[in-house]
């Protein structure tokens, strides 16, 4: 969910800035539409690619750690039992109970790997995350955020479209800020106005640059 909210935020801020940058340069409506569409597709694809690579790298790293753990459980079961018992003792579990728990975790290779992976690496071997799903989620989230300021340009043009982009962009940025407050625990108003300020700043800078260069 958090990645999705950030994805929507990235799509919104980068595309509202791009669109207003072109509008600031008085580009014809066809050009603004094209720029908005290119921004949406290029941004969504690069976000998805980035997310795919980072989650793929993370899962490969964890898979390697799991393979090492599986190997060690097979090669040195006694040492692994002592290690796990030590982890439980450090948590304040009675030494005898800790030893018994560590021994019983070796009942089957799957249970042993799952227990050691959870206690030593902090992961559940069954859910290392899917790079494809993460990439798809990023693609959709970015595209959702990016299409919002673009829609007005398919309905109207000129200053009406600029105003509409700014209004729907602001409302969405505000909404994203409220959603983020759910994760950060910050004040909803603070988070919403901060998100609005960030989007306004980014769009303002690109509009100015578009105006100066245009």
CB of 58 to Zn ion, least distance (A): 20
Nearer to Zn ion, 41 or 121 (CB): 121
**Which is closer to Zn ion, CB of 33 or CB of 116?**
116
The residue number whose beta carbon is nearest to Zn ion equals 116
Distance separating alpha carbons of residues 70 and 65, to the nearest angstrom: 9
Contact positions vs Zn ion (CB under 5 A):
80, 116, 120
Structure tokens at 96: 């005898």
* Contacts (Cβ under 8 Å, ≥6 apart) of 165: 16, 19, 20, 23, 149, 150, 152, 153
What minimum distance in Å lies between the beta carbon of 129 and Zn ion? 21
Angle between helices 29-75 and 109-116 (to 10 degrees): 120
Nearer to Zn ion, 86 or 198 (CB): 86
Per the CB < 8 A criterion, the answer to whether 29 and 161 are in contact is yes
For Zn ion, the closer CB: 85 or 141: 85
- Measured between alpha carbons, how far apart are the two ends of the chain, in Å? 39
Least CB distance to Zn ion at residue 116 (A):
4
Distance CA 83, CA 97 (A): 14
Cβ-based nearer residue to Zn ion, 101 or 179: 101
Length of the chain: 214
Q: Which one, of 128, 81, 125, lies nearest residue 100 by Cα? A: 81
Shortest distance, CB of residue 109 to Zn ion, whole angstroms?
Answer: 12
Cβ at position 117, least distance to Zn ion in Å: 8
């Amino acid at each position: 969910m958090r990645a999705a909210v950030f994805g929507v935020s990235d799509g919104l801020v980068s595309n509202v800035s791009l669109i207003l940058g072109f509008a600031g340069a008085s580009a014809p409506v066809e050009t603004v539409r094209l720029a908005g569409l290119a921004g949406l597709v290029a941004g969504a694809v690069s976000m998805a690619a980035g997310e795919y690579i980072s989650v793929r790298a993370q899962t490969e790293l964890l898979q390697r750690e799991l393979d090492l753990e599986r190997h060690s459980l097979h090669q040195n079961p006694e040492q692994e039992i002592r290690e796990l018992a030590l982890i439980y003792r450090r948590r304040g579990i009675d030494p005898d109970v800790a030893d018994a728990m560590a021994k019983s975790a070796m009942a089957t290779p799957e249970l042993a790997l799952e227990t050691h992976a959870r206690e030593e690496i902090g992961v559940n071997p069954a859910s290392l995350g899917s790079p494809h799903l993460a990439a798809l989620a990023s693609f959709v989230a970015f595209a959702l955020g990016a299409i919002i300021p673009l829609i007005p340009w398919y309905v109207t043009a000129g200053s009406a479209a600029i105003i509409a982009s700014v209004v729907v962009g602001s409302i969405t940025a505000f909404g994203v800020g409220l959603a983020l407050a759910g994760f950060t625990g910050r004040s909803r108003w603070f988070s919403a106005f901060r998100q609005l300020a960030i989007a306004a700043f980014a769009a303002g800078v690109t509009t100015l640059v578009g105006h100066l260069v245009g």
